[in-house]
Amino acid sequence: MKTFFGMAIAILAVCGMTFAQQPAYEAKASAHDLMSKIVRPSNGEIGAMRKAGGPMSDEDWAASAATAAILAEVGQVLQMGDRPKDEAWTDGAQRLTAGATSLMAASKSKNAEAWTAAAGEMGQGCRTCHKVHRQQ
Binding site for ligand HEC (CB under 6 A): 31-32, 35-36, 39-40, 43, 71, 78, 89, 92-93, 96, 122, 125-126, 129-130, 133-134
CB of 120 to ligand HEC, least distance (A): 11
* CA atoms of 2 and 12, how far apart (whole Å): 15
Nearer to ligand HEC, 15 or 133 (CB): 133
Nearer to ligand HEC, 32 or 51 (CB): 32
* CA atoms of 129 and 110, how far apart (whole Å): 29
Say if CB 78 and CB 34 are below 8 A apart: yes
Give residues with Cβ within 8 angstroms of 50, minimum separation 6.
116, 119
Nearer to ligand HEC, 6 or 41 (CB): 41
Reduced to 3 states, what is the DSSP secondary structure of residue 80?
A: coil
CB of 3 to ligand HEC, least distance (A): 51
CB of 129 to ligand HEC, least distance (A): 3
Q: What is the dihedral of CA 75, 70, 117, 112, to 10 degrees?
A: -170
CB of 78 to ligand HEC, least distance (A): 4
